[in-house]
Each structure stands twice: as structure tokens, then as C-alpha cells.
């Protein structure tokens, strides 16, 4: 008897791939068909790629368009000029190019780019999908271009050939079925970047922003997917996805009855239908993807490296230690205090002083936060010798000088608004709805005149006081140039509507705002590449990768309470590197939480990012100043490792979250940075609760060379007696497999709240 056995044959695909050093993405591309997703994961050889079968079970269209044969999980939806809502995209060609491109921060990046050209056979709309794999870092950027190349079809077209985009995701990435967990960050002003981790279940999960101006307000547009169960920090397969956009966005994960997870990311289309005239091209923001088999920390390290190299302005330069005036004097800026603060931060070893809000206003004086935004003219009552007087002080004290602005805003009570009421965002026919201080308004950056104005705010300051100004060229021995700007943005769009856009295009408001913002920032960077600019938006309201090509650092949060900062900085570190993470020592009791925290704990938390101070030093005792001086001296030793090193999150402060030890609970947090050559490392350990007989997990280090011997030295020490391991050397293997027993408390009698330790490791 012949047994006829029919085996299911996996359809062999026309597989096309691009790869980074350790990641590969594969698509199945055939002319006349829709491109299909095949694989994203560890790097695979060409031989393996070409034999890879299409995965089974899921809907794997790489960029599904609404209407023809897809109706549920879509990436694109177009209303064609004749009113037809359906689009049917088929591949008309593709290519892969190896090239060097200019990265957003101006550096040259070697990349391999796959471009897939698709077209609607009836209407002619062209869509290009891009997958750009960096050749020296593990990031693949993907994005889409949609072109109105529509031809006359049906009744329509000679009259009105504009098409309307109602959905325009940057990408769609199917994520395989399994026990997949999502990690994301949520939190508004003063509690940014709180981590949430949840299993992906059937249904739709949406993470979005609708603020209008500040894209990271409340939720961050970056997520990680742990593919095999709850997230782990140091092991396990993890995909990271960061949308590179600073405006309203939407991340969506649809899990249907296939149990595949369909991840799409892009601009939030709510109230943002975009009209594309004949010949126009709409480019979506990019999504940066990264895959690691070294857990969440592994993905973080990949984003940090890529970000420093290719996204962040001056990502290869160490950041200065600064004092910011905000929590020290708030709006009460006065020349003698500014001089005193400069002297104090200099005496503690600091390198830069930043004068925050309150220095400006002529007709309307900025004594409260209800006026004068837009009037970037010195208030001579507060600063009789103008900015020049402060630059003179800075020179005298041998310190850099920086200044605060909020250039996208104005107030009802401002000379700018008196002159240009038509420049503010305002719903047509309706009364204004002002924000902060009862009078703050957002300027409409979609308007080219507003763009020129916002550019001029920085340009005027730099022309008057920058390194190339007449003042500095002629009197550089007397005045320090202005070399730092803190760029703030404290308001959302409250009354959506544009006085600049036509009534047909009111829905362009949000998108054109961010296009305008980017264009201004690009102009500023082109003219002032060496100016240090801090990205601030009511604290961390704009923390994310998109604005960073034009910023050197970011204000992590207005919450400077050291205990809460551990959580905020932990979440922020998922995607953003310590190089730009402004972490400031502030007063106790803390101004936001009113918690009393020891100076030791405050310094140890601030030293794990870009160290700074946010305090009136006049109110500190000599002992406290000496302690800060020591912290700054120690930080200078560790600075390059903290700011440029590889991050290993060892023990999470979040209950039950990604802990590597069996202990869970809010009792301990620990992380470390290791230099690329593994010769130096900075280890941070913070106890988060104080209970008698509470026993803490022993933290194992990570990222060290097992064969190297490391000498341990405690930084920022306050204890009378040295730690048992002070000055002793241990192998990397011992430190990573066994770990050190850190005493739970300090041996001094002073109030220390919780305890903390910073250890410096140097290979012999
Ligand atoms: C909000 C910022 O986050 C603060 O640091 C400070 O600059 C204030 N704005 C000033 O108004």
C-alpha cells in the first residue's frame, strides 16, 4: 500500500534583509504584491535569510492600507480626490543601498537602506517604505513617504487633486505571538517616566500624546517588548521602539485572535487630517528599532550609544557641572545674588551658572509668571548692568554663563502680544483660553513669521553676547561669552486653531507647529553648533529622541526630590543616556515633596546623571558646601564613565519589576556604568526604605571583565570608617557572580534618612 503523505510546504519567500552589527530585519518583497514582514531579531547570515519561511498565523503586511482588502489593523488611510476611501498598494520595485548619510546631529553614519516602492494601481498614489540599518550601532530606522502622485480617476480630478491623509503611521511591525510584555513610561509634571510593565493581551493598547507642544508630557513615545515573559534587565530577548517625534503621537498595539501583536507608531492623527496637494510628499517621523538578547538594559545601551553618536547635539563631548538659579531664587533675580551664586558654585568646583526665569520684561516686568514672555529684554530694575554685568561676573569667577528663555510663548500682557495678536494659537471665532499664570499663550510656529521671531530670540542673544559678538571680540578679557541656553516650553495647546492656516487646513495646526519648531531649531544649530542648549518643557515634557539633534541635554524633571528622582531617572534611562540627563542637588526639605533627605543621598542620586545644583548656596552651611565640593571633585573623576559609559541597571526600585534578585519590593535600587574598555566603572547603590531588620539583596555587578582585577574606592564618603573592601581588589568574576556586602546604614550619628554608596572601580 502506498501511503500518500501531504506535508504543508512553507512558502519560500523572496526574502530581502538589512542588518546592523547584531540585528537583522527581513521582508518578503514581490512585484505586484504587498510586502510582507518575515523576521526581526538577532543578525542572520544571507544563507539563513534566503531560506527563512514566512511566519505562520499572523497578518504580516508590512504597511497595510485601509479599504480594499484590509479594514481592521491598518497603517495608512487616504481619501482620494474623488472621495474614494480605499487604497491598494502593490510593490513596483525595491533597492538596497550602502551609503554614508548625514545623521540628524551632523555626524556621518554608515548605513544600509532598503527602499520599497509601492503604488496604488488605480489612483497612482506612491508610497515608499524605508528600513535604514546603521552599520556600526544596532538601530534600524524605519519610516514612510506618501506622495500625491494621483491621476485623474472617476469624476474628480482636474478641479481638486488634493488627497486627505487620515491615517499615516510611520511603520507597522508584527511582533510574534508568545508571552510578550510591554514596558512603557507614564507620568506628568513632577512624576515623569514612571515605569509600567504589562502583558500584551487581546485587544488594542494605545499610548498617545495630545498636548500639542510637548510630546513627552504624560506618556513617552518609546516602548520595549520583552518577548519571553516579564522583562528582565540583563537577559532575554527585547525589542525597543522609539518614535522620533516631538509632537502629538500615537503608539498602538493590536492583538487579534492570531495572538500576534501588531505595533504601529506615528503622528497622532486625531484632529490632524493632512491634505496633500498634487505633487506633495508627506514624510512620516522615523521609528528607531533595536533588538537585544541582553534584556532591557541591553536595549537601553544600544539606544544610548546610537543617540550619543548620531542624534544628540555634541554627543561626543562631556557636559559641564552647573548651578541653575530656579529653586534658589525663582523669579526674584537680582544682580548681587547672581554674582554670589556664581562665586559659590565656582568655589564648590562647578563650571557653569544658568540664570533661569525672571530676568526680562520692560513694559510688563516678569515679577510674576503672568506676563512678559516674548519680551526678551533685560529688566534693568533687577539687573542694572544688564546681561553684560553678569557676563563680567562670570569672567571674574572663571565660570561659563547661561540664560533661560521660553521662546515659543507669549502672555496676554506682553509687548510681543500687543504687537502681534495674530501670532498666537487661537481657535477662529472663539475667545482666547490662556494657560500658566492665567495669561500664557502659545505662538503658532506653523507661521513663517513666528518661526523667524523664535529664531531671532536666540540669534539676538548670541549676536549681543555670544563668543562671536562684538562685546566678546573686543572685550573678551573682561566678559565671559554666553554659551548656554535653557529652552523651556510650559504650555500645551489649549484652544486649538490657527490664525495662519486657511479654514480648510485647520487640521494642519499640530503637525505644522512641529515642522516649524524643527525648522527653527535646525537654523539655530546650523548657526551656533557649539552653543549648549538644554531641552526643558515643564521639566521632562519633551524628553525623547526627536528634539535631541538640536539639544545637548534635557531637564529630567522639576521634581528634584532625590528619592522620587531615583524612579524618574530609572524610567528615563530606558531610552535616554546619562550624558544629557540633568540631575540637580536641591534643598532639603525638598520644594516639591517637602521630604527631608540627607545631602549625602541627594548628591549620590544626582551624581548618577549629569550632575548639577538647583539651590541657593547662600543658605547652605560651610560643611554642606564642603560636602558638595567633595562630590563635585569625585564626580569629575567619574564623569566620563557616567556620561559616556555603558549602563547596567542591576536592581530596580519599582516593586517586583525587572529585579535580578529574588527579593522584590521598594527597598533598594542599584545601577552601574562601565567604560567601553571595561577598565573603569561607577557603581551606585541607594537604599529606599528604612526599617530595622530589613534585609537587602546583595547586588551582583555586571558588564565588567571577569578576568580583570578591580580596586574599589568609595566616592563621596561620609562614614568615619572605611568600607571593608576599600582599596582592595576583586576580580570582575567575583564582583559579578558574588557581589559586595554593602552596609545598610552609615556609621555616623547624623540624620542620613536612607543610606547610599557610590563606588569607583579601577582595573589594575
Ligand atoms: C519650568 C522648568 O521646568 C523649570 O525648571 C523652570 O525653568 C521654570 N519653568 C521657570 O518658569
Q: Which DSSP string do the residues of 236-276 spell out, in sequence order?
A: B-EEEEEE--SSSEEEEEEE-TT--EEEEEEE--TT--EEE
Cα–Cα distance measured from residue 404 to residue 250, given in angstroms and rounded to the nearest whole number: 31
Picking from 585, 588, 602, 405, the residue whose alpha carbon sits closest to that of residue 486 is 405
Q: Is the pLDDT of residue 100 over 80?
A: yes
Pocket-testing residue among 332, 538, 583, 615, ligand 1, by greatest number of atoms within 8 A of Cβ: 538
Range 43-47 average pLDDT: 97
Q: How far is the CA of 357 from the centre of ligand 1 (A)?
A: 7
Cell representation of residue 200: 500584551
Cα 512 to Cα 125, 451, 505, distances in angstroms? 22, 11, 10
pLDDT tens digits for 741-764? 999 889 986 666 789 999 999 999
> Does position 183 have pLDDT exceeding 60, yes or no?
yes
Q: Does the CB atom of residue 567 touch ligand 1 within 6 A? A: no
Ligand 1 close to Cβ of residue 134 (< 6 A): no
Nearest to 740 by CA among 657, 638, 650: 650
pLDDT of residue 748: 85
Euclidean distance between CA atoms 713 and 691, whole angstroms: 27
How far, in Å, from the CA of 433 to the mean position of ligand 1?
Answer: 21
Contact 665, 654 (CB under 8 A): no
* Residue 191, CA distances (Å) to 185, 368, 564, 592, 713 in order: 10, 25, 8, 10, 33
631 phi/psi in degrees, rounded to 5 = -60, -40
Cα separation, 92 vs 105, whole angstroms: 33
Q: Is the CB of 404 under 6 A from ligand 1?
A: yes
Report the pLDDT value the prediction gives residue 156, as an integer from 0 to 100.
53
Q: Is 554 in the pocket of ligand 1 (CB under 6 A)?
A: no
Cell of 547: 528634539
| Per-residue confidence band for 661, with pLDDT thresholds at 50, 70 and 90 | very low
Dist. CA 257–CA 94, nearest whole Å: 32
Residue 305 has pLDDT above 70, yes or no: yes
What CA–CA distance (Å, rounded) separates 109 from 561?
Answer: 39
Structure confidence at residue 69 (pLDDT): 77
614 CA closest ligand 1 atom index:
5
Distance 390 CA to ligand 1 centre (A): 20
Give, using CA atoms, the residue closest to atom 11 of ligand 1. Answer: 357
Residue-wise pLDDT for 209-248, tens only, equals 999 999 999 999 999 999 999 989 999 999 999 999 999 9
Counting from 1 in the atom list of ligand 1, the atom nearest the Cα of 369 is: 11
Per-residue confidence (pLDDT) for residue 68, from 0 to 100: 83
pLDDT of residue 664: 47
pLDDT at 7 over 70: no
Residue 212: half-sphere exposure toward Cβ, Cα within 13 Å: 23
For residue range 497-541, what is the model confidence (pLDDT) as tens digits? 999 999 999 999 999 999 999 999 999 999 999 999 999 999 999
Q: Which DSSP symbol is given to 534? A: E
How would DSSP label each residue in 548-617?
Answer: GGG-SEEE--S---HHHHHHHHHHHTTTS-GGGEEEEEE-SS-TTT-----HHHHHHHHTTSEEEEES-G
Atom of ligand 1 nearest to the CA of 330: 10
pTM: 0.96
733/735 Cα distance (integer angstroms): 6
Q: Determine if ligand 1 sits within 6 Å of the CB of residue 66.
A: no
pLDDT value of position 246: 96
Ligand 1 lined by 487 (C-beta under 6 Å): no
Contacts of 395 (CB under 8 A, 6+ apart): 477, 478, 479, 480
User: Residue 18, preceding bond cis, omega within 30 degrees?
Assistant: no
Expressed in angstroms and rounded, the spacing between residue 222 Cα and the centre of ligand 1 is 24
H or E stretch including 624? Answer: helix 622-644
pLDDT on residue 6: 35
What would the grid cell of residue 623 be? 560643611
Q: Is the pLDDT of residue 439 over 80?
A: yes
Decide: 558 in ligand 1 pocket, CB within 6 A: yes
- 416, HSE (Cβ side, Cα atoms, 13 Å): 25
Q: Output the CA torsion 670→675→679→683 (10° steps).
A: -10
Question: What separation in Å is there between the alpha carbon of 326 and the centre of ligand 1?
Answer: 7
The CB of 538 under 6 Å from ligand 1? The reply is: yes
192 lines ligand 1 (CB under 6 A): no
Q: Which residue's CA is the closest to the ligand 1 atom numbered 10? A: 357
Q: Would the pLDDT of 615 be above 80?
A: yes
Q: Nearest C-alpha to atom 2 of ligand 1 is from which residue? A: 538
- How many Å lie between the centroid of ligand 1 and the Cα of residue 490? 8
Q: Whose CA is nearest to atom 9 of ligand 1?
A: 538
Q: Could you tell me if the CB of 406 is within 6 A of ligand 1?
A: no
| Those residues with Cβ within 8 angstroms of residue 286's Cβ, 6 or more apart along the chain or in another chain | 132, 141, 142, 143, 170, 243, 244
- State the DSSP H helix or E strand holding residue 393, giving kind and residue range, or none if neither: helix 386-397
At residue 196, the pLDDT reads 94
Q: How far is the CA of 565 from the centre of ligand 1 (A)?
A: 17
DSSP state at residue 443: B
Q: Residues 545-601: pLDDT tens digits?
A: 999 999 999 999 999 999 999 999 999 999 999 999 999 999 999 999 999 999 999
Q: Specify the 3-state DSSP secondary structure of 678.
A: coil
CA 596, 541, 282 angle in degrees (round to 5)?
165
Strands 23-28 and 680-687: unpaired
Average pLDDT, integer, range 286-298: 98
Contact 458, 452 (CB under 8 A): no
Residue 65 has pLDDT above 80, yes or no: yes
Phi-psi region of 124 (alpha: psi -120 to 50; beta: other; left: phi over 0): left
Q: How many Å lie between the centroid of ligand 1 and the Cα of residue 402?
A: 14
Share of the chain above pLDDT 70, in %: 95
User: Can you tell me which residue has the cell 542624534?
Assistant: 311
Q: Is the CB of 534 under 6 A from ligand 1?
A: no
Length of the chain: 764
Q: Per-residue confidence at 254, pLDDT binned at 50, 70, 90? A: very high
Question: For position 710, what pLDDT does the model report?
Answer: 98
Amino acid at each position: 500500500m502506498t501511503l500518500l503523505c501531504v506535508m504543508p510546504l512553507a512558502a519560500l519567500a523572496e526574502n530581502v534583509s538589512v542588518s546592523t552589527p547584531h540585528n537583522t530585519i527581513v521582508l518578503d518583497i514581490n512585484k505586484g504584491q504587498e510586502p510582507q514582514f518575515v523576521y526581526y531579531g538577532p543578525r542572520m547570515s544571507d544563507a539563513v535569510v534566503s531560506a527563512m519561511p514566512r511566519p505562520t498565523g499572523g497578518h504580516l503586511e508590512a504597511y497595510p492600507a485601509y479599504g480594499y482588502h484590509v479594514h481592521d489593523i491598518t497603517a495608512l488611510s487616504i481619501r482620494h480626490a474623488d472621495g474614494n476611501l480605499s487604497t491598494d498598494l502593490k510593490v513596483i520595485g525595491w533597492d538596497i543601498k550602502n551609503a554614508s548619510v548625514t545623521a540628524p546631529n551632523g555626524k556621518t553614519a554608515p548605513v544600509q537602506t532598503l527602499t520599497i516602492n509601492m503604488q496604488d494601481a488605480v489612483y497612482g498614489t506612491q508610497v515608499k517604505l524605508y528600513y535604514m540599518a546603521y552599520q556600526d550601532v544596532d538601530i534600524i530606522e524605519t519610516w514612510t513617504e506618501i506622495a500625491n502622485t494621483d491621476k485623474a480617476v472617476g469624476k474628480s480630478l482636474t478641479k481638486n487633486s488634493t488627497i486627505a491623509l487620515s491615517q499615516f503611521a510611520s511603520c507597522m511591525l508584527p511582533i510574534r505571538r508568545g508571552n510578550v510584555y510591554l514596558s512603557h513610561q507614564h507620568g506628568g509634571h513632577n512624576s515623569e517616566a514612571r515605569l509600567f510593565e504589562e502583558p500584551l493581551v487581546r485587544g488594542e493598547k494605545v499610548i498617545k500624546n495630545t498636548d500639542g507642544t510637548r510630546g513627552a508630557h504624560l506618556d513617552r513615545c518609546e516602548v520595549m517588548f520583552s518577548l519571553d515573559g516579564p522583562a528582565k534587565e540583563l537577559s532575554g530577548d527585547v525589542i525597543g521602539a522609539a518614535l522620533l517625534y516631538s509632537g502629538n503621537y500615537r503608539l498602538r498595539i493590536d492583538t487579534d485572535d492570531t495572538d500576534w501583536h501588531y505595533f504601529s507608531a506615528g503622528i497622532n492623527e486625531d484632529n490632524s487630517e493632512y491634505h496633500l496637494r498634487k505633487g506633495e510628499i508627506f514624510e512620516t517621523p522615523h521609528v528607531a528599532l533595536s533588538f537585544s538578547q541582553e534584556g532591557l538594559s541591553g536595549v537601553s545601551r544600544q539606544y544610548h550609544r546610537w543617540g550619543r553618536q548620531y542624534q544628540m547635539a555634541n554627543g561626543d563631548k562631556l557636559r559641564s557641572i552647573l548651578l541653575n538659579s530656579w529653586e534658589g531664587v525663582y523669579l526674584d533675580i537680582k544682580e548681587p545674588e547672581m554674582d554670589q551664586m556664581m562665586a559659590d558654585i565656582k568655589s564648590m568646583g562647578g563650571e557653569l551658572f544658568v540664570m533661569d526665569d525672571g530676568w526680562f520684561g520692560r513694559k510688563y516686568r516678569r515679577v510674576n509668571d503672568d506676563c512678559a514672555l516674548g519680551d526678551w529684554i533685560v529688566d534693568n530694575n533687577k539687573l542694572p548692568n544688564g546681561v553684560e554685568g553678569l557676563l563680567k561676573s562670570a569672567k571674574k569667577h572663571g565660570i561659563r554663563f547661561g540664560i533661560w528663555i521660553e521662546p515659543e510663548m507669549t502672555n496676554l500682557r506682553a509687548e510681543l502680544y500687543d504687537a502681534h495678536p495674530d501670532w498666537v494659537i487661537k481657535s477662529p471665532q472663539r475667545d482666547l483660553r490662556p494657560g500658566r499664570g492665567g495669561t500664557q499663550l502659545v505662538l503658532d510656529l506653523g507661521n513663517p513669521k513666528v518661526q523667524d521671531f523664535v529664531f531671532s530670540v536666540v540669534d539676538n542673544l548670541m549676536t549681543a553676547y555670544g563668543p562671536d559678538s562684538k562685546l566678546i571680540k573686543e572685550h573678551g578679557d573682561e566678559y565671559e561669552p554666553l554659551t548656554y541656553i535653557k529652552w523651556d516650553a510650559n504650555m500645551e495647546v489649549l484652544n486649538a486653531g490657527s490664525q495662519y492656516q486657511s479654514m480648510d487646513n485647520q487640521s494642519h495646526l499640530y503637525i505644522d507647529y512641529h515642522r516649524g519648531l524643527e525648522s527653527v531649531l535646525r537654523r539655530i544649530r546650523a548657526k551656533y553648533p557649539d552653543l549648549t542648549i538644554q531641552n526643558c518643557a515643564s521639566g521632562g515634557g519633551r524628553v525623547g529622541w526627536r528634539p535631541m539633534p538640536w539639544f545637548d541635554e534635557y531637564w529630567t524633571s522639576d521634581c528634584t526630590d532625590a528619592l522620587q528622582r531615583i524612579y524618574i531617572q530609572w524610567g528615563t534611562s530606558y531610552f535616554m543616556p546619562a550624558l544629557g540627563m540633568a540631575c540637580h542637588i536641591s534643598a532639603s526639605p525638598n520644594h516639591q515633596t517637602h521630604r527631608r533627605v540627607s545631602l549625602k543621598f541627594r548628591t549620590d542620586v544626582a551624581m548618577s546623571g549629569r550632575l548639577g545644583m538647583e539651590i541657593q548656596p547662600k543658605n547652605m552651611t560651610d560643611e554642606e558646601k564642603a560636602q558638595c565640593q567633595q562630590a563635585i571633585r569625585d564626580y569629575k573623576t567619574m564623569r566620563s564613565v557616567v556620561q559616556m559609559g555603558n549602563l547596567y541597571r542591576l536592581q530596580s526600585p519599582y516593586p517586583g519589576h525587572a529585579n535580578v534578585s529574588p527579593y522584590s519590593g521598594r527597598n533598594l535600587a542599584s545601577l552601574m556604568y562601565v567604560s567601553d574598555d571595561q577598565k573603569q566603572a561607577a557603581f551606585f547603590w541607594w537604599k529606599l526604605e528604612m526599617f530595622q531588620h530589613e534585609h537587602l539583596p546583595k547586588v551582583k555587578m555586571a558588564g565588567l571583565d571577569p578576568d580583570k582585577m578591580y580596586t574599589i574606592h568609595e566616592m563621596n564618603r561620609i562614614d568615619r570608617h572605611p568600607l571593608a573592601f576599600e582599596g582592595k581588589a576583586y576580580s570582575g568574576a567575583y564582583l559579578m557572580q558574588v557581589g559586595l556586602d554593602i552596609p545598610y546604614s552609615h556609621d555616623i550619628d547624623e540624620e542620613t534618612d536612607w543610606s547610599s554608596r557610590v563606588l569607583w572601580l579601577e582595573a589594575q
